[in-house]
C-alpha cells in the first residue's frame, strides 16, 4: 500500500479542515500539522466576544484540541512548532520546536501552507507598550482579556473602524469602558459605500462611541511602567489605558515566497481553483492564499474563517485525489454592533465605479418584519445591478435584528446569475413574524426594475 | 385621450396591488374596486396574532383604507359591494350594494378577478354553532376575537394542523386556554415530510398542545344557547367552548366559471404568465388564480399574500400595457410556533416520489449561530437534490430563532439553478452572532455532495 505523508503548516481553519478531509478519504496516510501557537482550530472571530465577556471561557472558542485530533482522527497536530523553511526540491520542511528550540528537517509527499495572517502594527513610537493589543490569535485574545481583568482600564481607544473595531467597541462598552474610535477614512466600515457607512457611524455615536474620523494614529504615550496612558493622532491626544489595533492584517506568505512560490500582487500565495501553488506538490489555503473574486475577476486577499474552511475542504479533496474546485468569493461579510446588524456582498458602488462597470443603484428603507408585529425594526438596503442586463451586482444592508442574514439571498442570486427582475418575483418566505409581504431585498429590486 | 376603465373584483392583496400599479402607470384611467367585506388591503396572515393579543388593534392589520385609496390614488374602493355576475360579451359586471341590497350593471374595459378564497367548512352537525370560527377575512378575525373576549372560553379545539392551526394554537396558549389540536393526518404541517412534521408534533406536545392525530371531526355539540360545548371525532369527545377550523381554503372561482372562464383542475382560474384568463380583457390574480410550480411544471392552487402581491403586480403591469411575467412559485412557506420556526420550499421528499424525480436527501442537525455565542439554538435542515445532476430541489427547516428565513437562500439557489456543490461553496455570510463557519444549509449540502 502506498502510505503518503501530508504535512500542513498552520493548525487553524484551513489547515485542520484540509487535514480532516484528507483523513476521511485516506485513512492510512500520515498527517502532521505544525502550528506555532499553542492552539488549534479556534474561532478567531469569537475573540472580541471573549474579551467582552459575552463568551466566558477561551476554551469554548476551540473547536478541537490537538488531543482530539490525534485520538479521533490520528492527525498529529504539533502546537508550538514553527516551520522556518520549505525545501520544495527535497520535499522537506525545517521545523523548530518552540518549547525546546530544537530544529530539524521533516519530509513530506504533499505540503499544505495554511499560515494565515498577521495583524498590521503601525510603525509608531510606543506601539510595543503594555496595554496595546492587536487581536489575531486566540493567545492574543487571552492576553488582552487578562490585561483588562487585571488593570481595569477606564478608557479605551480603538484604531480602525472595520469588523474587529466595531466588535471590540461593543465588547468594551459592555464592560463599562468609555470607548473612542479612530479611523483615517471618512466613515467606519470601509467595505461599505460612504452613505451606508454613515448610518453605522451615526449609530456608533448614538450608542456612546466617540468617533474621530479622518484622523491617524501617530504615537502611543506610556507611563513609567511602560503601560499605555494616551494616544496621539495628527489632530489630538486621547487618554487611554487600553488600545486595540484593528487596522487590518497581512497574509503570512514570506515562507512561501522564500521557497520560490509565486505570490499575487495582494501579497497572498497565488493558487488556482484547486488550491495548487506554482510549485508541484504544494498547496495553499486560507487567509494566506488568494481567492478569485467572482465579479472583479481577479485574485484578492480575503481573511475570513468561512472562506478558509472552504479553501481547506478543496485543498484536502484535491490532495486526496478527489475532484473539487473553489469557485471564488463575493466579498460577503457580516457583523453587528449592539442592535445594528451590518452586511455586504458583491460589488459596492465604489467598486463598480473603480471597475467601470455600468450599474444602477437604489437604497430603500423598510421594516425587518411586518410593521404591526412586535419586534419590527428598521432595515436599509442598498442594491446594485448591471445597467445593461439587470444582473445583480451587490448589496449592503444595515438594520435591526433579522436584517443582515438576508444578504445570503443576494449571494445566491449573484452566484445564480439572477437579475433584479428575477429577485422581484423570487418566491421568498413570508409570514408576519419574519418579513413583510415584499421582503426588503425585493422592495429594493422593485425600485431598480 | 383614451380614458379606460379598470374594474377589479376583490380589494385585498392582489386586487389592490394591481389597481395601485395601474394607477402609477395610467394616471387618467378610472379604477373601481368592488370588495364584499368591509375592509381593503389587510393582512390576513396577521389574524391569529390579533386573536392572540400579540397585535392589539385590528386597524393595524389594514395597510390602506378605502379613504386612503381614494385620496392618495384616486382608486374607488367600494367595500360591501359584491359582484354577482360577469358578462364578458358586453364587458360588464352585475354588482350588488350589500348595504342597500340594490343591484346594477357596471361596464369595464379591463376586468381583474381577485376574489380570493373561502375557508372549507366540513358538512357536519353543529358546524354553524356560535364559537366555531374559520379565519379567512379580517371580519371573521374580529368576530373571533370579540367572542373570546366576551365568553372567556377555557378550552379550545383546533381542527387542522397547518399554518393557521399552529399560529392559532400559539395565540390561544398565550391567552391561557387549554388547546387541543385534531388532524386527520399522521403529523401536523402536511406540507412537510413525515420526519420533519414529527419534530413539530413533538414540540407542540412539549409546549402543552394536546394532539389528536389520525382523527377526524365528526360533530360539534352545542348547549342550550347554541354555543359550542364539545366536539366529537371518530375516536372521542373533547369538551370545548371555542373551535377553530383550519382545514384549508378553496379558491373563489365560481363567478369566473359561471362566465365561461376556464378553470384548472385545482379549481383555480387558469391564467398564463401574464395573468390573462381564457377570456380576452379579463385577468385573474391572487389566491383565486393558478400559479405555475417551477419544479412540478404544473398549475397549482396557492394561497399566500406574497404570491397574491406578485400576481397583482404582474396583472397591473400587463393591463397598463407594460411588460411583465410571473415566473412561478416554489411553494415556499414559513411559520412559527412559540420558539420553533418552520419553513419549506421546493419539493418535499413526498412530492419528489410522487413526481418520480430521482432525488437524494439528507437531514442534518446543527446550531443556528456559533455554538459558543449566547442565543445559539438547534436547527434541523432537510435538503433534497436531483440524483442525476445535483440540482437543488427543495428544503425543509425547523429550528430556533434565526433558523427559518434561511430557506430564502435555498429559494434563490433553486431559481438560479444551483447544484448542492454550488451551495457548499456559496459565499454566505458568517460571523459568530449569525452563523457557524458553515451555514446549516451548507452542512446539509456537504452531506449530499
- Tens of pLDDT, residue by residue over A211-229, are 999 999 999 999 999 999 9
Instruction: Give the dihedral of Cα atoms B16, B19, B20, B21; nearest 10 deg.
Output: 120
- From CA B285, how far away is CA B272, in angstroms rounded? 11
pLDDT one-digit tens code per residue, B149-203: 999 999 999 999 999 999 999 999 999 999 999 999 999 999 999 999 999 999 9
Confidence class of residue A1 from pLDDT cuts 50, 70 and 90? Answer: low
- From CA B259, how far away is CA B93, in angstroms rounded? 10
Of A408, A427, A433, the CB nearest to B332: A427
Query: Does B236 lie in the same domain as B125?
Result: yes
Of chain A, the percentage scoring pLDDT greater than 70 comes to: 100
- From CA B226, how far away is CA A395, in angstroms rounded? 58
Number of domains in chain B: 3
Look at residue A208 and tell me if it is in a domain.
Answer: yes
What was the pLDDT predicted at A289?
A: 98
Query: Does B348 lie in the same domain as B271?
Result: no
C-alpha radius of gyration, chain A, whole number: 23
Q: Which residue of A has its CA nearest to B308?
A: A437
Q: Distance of CA A403 to CAs A37, A335, A393, B211, Å?
A: 36, 11, 19, 35
Of B327, B329, B429, the CB nearest to A333: B429
Low-confidence ranges of chain B (pLDDT < 50): none
Query: Does A293 lie in the same domain as A390?
Result: no
Judge: A306–B43 Cβ closer than 8 Å, yes or no: no
What was the pLDDT predicted at B1?
A: 53
Residue A220: HSE in the Cβ half-sphere, 13 Å Cα cutoff: 27
Look at residue B177 and tell me if it is in a domain.
Answer: yes
Lowest mean pLDDT among A65-79, A128-142, A272-286, A336-350: A128-142
Query: Does A103 lie in the same domain as A221?
Result: no
Any residues with CB less than 8 A from the CB of B67 and at least 6 apart, and which?
Answer: none
What was the pLDDT predicted at B60?
A: 85
What was the pLDDT predicted at A56?
A: 84
Residue A286: HSE in the Cβ half-sphere, 13 Å Cα cutoff: 31
Which of B310, B383, B429 would best serve as a mutation to test chain A binding (most A beta carbons within 10 A)? B429
- Domain CATH code at residue A235: 3.50.50.60
Contacts of B446 in chain A (CB under 8 A): 313
Judge: A429–B330 Cβ closer than 8 Å, yes or no: no
Q: How close B279 gets to chain A, by Cα (Å)?
A: 25
Look at residue A100 and tell me if it is in a domain.
Answer: yes
Grid cell in block for residue B44? 390576513
Are the CB atoms for A320 and A284 separated by under 8 Å? no
Judge: A431–B405 Cβ closer than 8 Å, yes or no: no
Contacts of A373 in chain B (CB under 8 A): 46, 49, 54-55
Judge: A429–B332 Cβ closer than 8 Å, yes or no: yes
- Domain CATH code at residue A368: 3.30.390.30
Are the CB atoms for A299 and A269 separated by under 8 Å? no
Are the CB atoms for A92 and A106 separated by under 8 Å? yes
Are the CB atoms for B256 and B250 separated by under 8 Å? no
Are the CB atoms for B388 and B406 separated by under 8 Å? no
Is the pLDDT at A136 greater than 80? The verdict is no
Lowest mean pLDDT among A133-137, A192-196, A394-398, A434-438: A133-137
SS3 A271: coil
Beta-strand (E) ranges in A20-131?
30-35, 76-79, 81-87, 92-97, 102-107, 110-113, 117-119
Mean pLDDT of A289-300: 96
Q: How close B405 gets to chain A, by Cα (Å)?
A: 7
Beta-strand (E) ranges in B59-208?
76-79, 81-87, 92-97, 102-107, 110-113, 117-119, 132-134, 155-159, 178-183
Look at residue B192 and tell me if it is in a domain.
Answer: yes
Query: Does B348 lie in the same domain as B313?
Result: no
- Sign of torsion, CA B404 B408 B409 B411? positive
Query: Does A259 lie in the same domain as A239?
Result: no
Burial B360-392 (b: 16+ CB within 10 A, else e): bbbbbebbbbbebbeebbebbbbbbbbeeebbb
Any residues with CB less than 8 A from the CB of B280 and at least 6 apart, and which?
Answer: none
Q: Following DSSP, what letter does each residue of B338-382 receive, concatenated?
A: TTEEEEEEE--HHHHHHTT--EEEEEEEEESS-TTSTT--EEEEE
Look at residue A331 and tell me if it is in a domain.
Answer: no
Query: Does A196 lie in the same domain as A233?
Result: yes
pLDDT one-digit tens code per residue, A357-366: 999 999 999 9
SS3 B285: coil
Nearest to B342 by CA among B190, B228, B221: B190
Query: Does A163 lie in the same domain as A87?
Result: no
Are the CB atoms for B84 and B105 separated by under 8 Å? no
Judge: B438–A412 Cβ closer than 8 Å, yes or no: no
Burial A184-195 (b: 16+ CB within 10 A, else e): beebbbbbbbee
- From CA B397, how far away is CA A419, in angstroms rounded? 27
Q: Distance of CA B408 to CAs A52, A178, A409, B22, B402, Å?
A: 32, 40, 6, 29, 12
Query: Does A156 lie in the same domain as A94?
Result: no
Any residues with CB less than 8 A from the CB of B220 and at least 6 apart, and which?
Answer: B124, B125, B126, B127, B129, B132, B228, B230, B231, B232, B243
Of A184, A212, A247, the position where a domain reaches its end is A247
Contacts of B417 in chain A (CB under 8 A): 416
Judge: B430–A404 Cβ closer than 8 Å, yes or no: no
Of A247, A271, A289, the position where a domain reaches its end is A247
Look at residue A330 and tell me if it is in a domain.
Answer: no
What are the residue numbers of the active site of A?
45
Query: Does A219 lie in the same domain as A166?
Result: yes
Query: Does A110 lie in the same domain as A257?
Result: yes
Using CB atoms within 10 Å of the CB of residue A258, give its burial: 0 to 12 exposed, 13 to 18 middle, 19+ buried: exposed
| ipTM of predicted complex | 0.96
Look at residue A406 and tell me if it is in a domain.
Answer: yes
- From CA B449, how far away is CA B443, in angstroms rounded? 10
Contacts of A429 in chain B (CB under 8 A): 332-334, 343, 345, 404-405, 407-408, 411
Query: Does B270 lie in the same domain as B204?
Result: no
Identify the domain containing residue A191 by its residue range. Answer: 121-247
Q: How close B306 gets to chain A, by Cα (Å)?
A: 5
Contacts of A424 in chain B (CB under 8 A): 310, 313
Contacts of A61 in chain B (CB under 8 A): 372
Look at residue B71 and tell me if it is in a domain.
Answer: no
- From CA A150, how far away is CA A131, in angstroms rounded? 11
Of B247, B270, B293, the position where a domain reaches its end is B247
Amino acid at each position: 500500500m502506498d502510505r503518503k505523508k501530508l504535512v500542513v503548516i498552520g493548525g487553524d481553519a484551513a489547515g485542520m479542515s484540509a487535514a480532516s478531509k484528507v483523513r476521511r478519504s485516506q485513512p492510512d496516510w500520515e498527517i502532521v500539522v505544525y502550528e506555532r501557537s499553542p492552539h488549534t482550530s479556534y474561532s478567531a472571530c469569537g475573540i472580541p466576544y471573549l474579551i467582552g465577556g459575552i463568551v466566558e471561557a477561551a476554551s469554548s472558542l476551540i473547536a478541537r484540541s490537538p488531543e482530539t485530533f490525534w485520538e479521533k482522527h490520528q492527525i498529529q497536530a504539533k502546537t508550538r512548532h514553527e516551520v522556518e523553511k520549505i525545501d520544495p526540491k527535497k520535499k522537506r520542511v525545517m521545523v523548530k520546536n518552540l518549547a525546546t528550540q530544537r530544529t530539524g528537517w521533516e519530509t513530506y509527499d504533499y505540503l499544505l501552507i495554511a499560515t494565515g495572517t498577521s495583524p498590521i502594527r503601525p510603525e509608531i513610537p510606543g506601539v510595543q507598550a503594555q496595554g496595546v493589543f492587536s487581536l489575531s490569535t486566540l493567545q492574543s485574545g487571552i492576553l488582552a482579556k487578562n490585561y483588562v481583568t487585571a488593570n481595569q482600564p477606564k478608557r479605551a481607544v480603538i484604531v480602525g473602524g472595520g469588523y474587529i473595531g466595531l466588535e471590540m467597541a461593543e465588547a468594551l462598552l459592555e464592560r463599562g469602558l468609555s470607548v473612542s474610535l479612530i479611523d483615517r477614512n471618512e466613515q467606519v466600515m470601509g467595505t461599505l459605500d460612504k452613505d451606508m457607512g454613515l448610518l453605522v457611524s451615526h449609530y456608533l455615536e448614538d450608542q456612546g462611541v466617540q468617533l474621530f474620523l479622518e484622523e491617524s494614529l501617530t504615537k502611543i504615550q506610556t507611563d513609567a511602567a511602560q503601560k499605555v496612558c494616551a494616544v496621539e493622532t495628527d489632530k489630538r491626544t486621547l487618554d487611554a489605558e487600553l488600545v486595540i489595533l484593528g487596522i487590518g492584517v497581512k497574509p503570512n506568505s514570506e515562507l512561501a515566497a522564500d521557497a520560490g512560490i509565486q505570490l499575487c500582487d495582494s501579497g497572498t500565495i497565488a493558487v488556482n481553483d484547486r488550491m495548487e501553488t506554482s510549485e508541484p506538490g504544494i498547496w495553499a489555503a486560507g487567509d494566506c492564499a488568494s481567492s478569485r473574486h467572482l465579479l472583479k475577476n481577479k485574485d484578492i486577499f480575503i481573511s475570513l474563517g468561512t472562506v478558509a474552511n472552504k479553501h481547506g475542504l478543496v485543498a484536502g479533496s484535491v490532495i486526496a485525489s478527489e475532484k473539487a474546485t473553489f469557485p471564488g468569493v463575493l466579498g460577503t461579510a457580516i457583523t453587528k454592533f449592539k442592535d445594528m446588524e451590518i452586511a455586504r456582498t458583491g460589488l459596492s458602488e465604489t467598486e463598480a465605479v473603480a471597475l467601470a462597470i455600468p450599474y444602477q443603484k437604489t437604497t430603500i428603507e423598510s421594516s425587518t418584519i411586518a410593521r404591526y408585529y412586535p419586534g419590527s425594526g428598521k432595515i436599509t438596503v442598498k442594491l446594485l445591478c448591471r445597467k445593461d442586463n439587470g444582473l445583480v451586482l451587490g448589496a449592503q444592508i444595515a438594520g435591526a435584528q433579522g436584517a443582515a442574514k438576508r444578504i445570503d439571498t443576494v449571494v445566491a442570486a449573484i452566484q445564480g446569475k439572477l437579475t433584479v427582475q428575477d429577485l422581484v418575483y423570487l418566491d421568498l418566505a413570508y409570514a408576519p413574524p419574519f418579513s413583510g409581504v415584499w421582503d426588503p431585498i425585493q422592495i429594493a429590486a422593485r425600485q431598480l426594475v
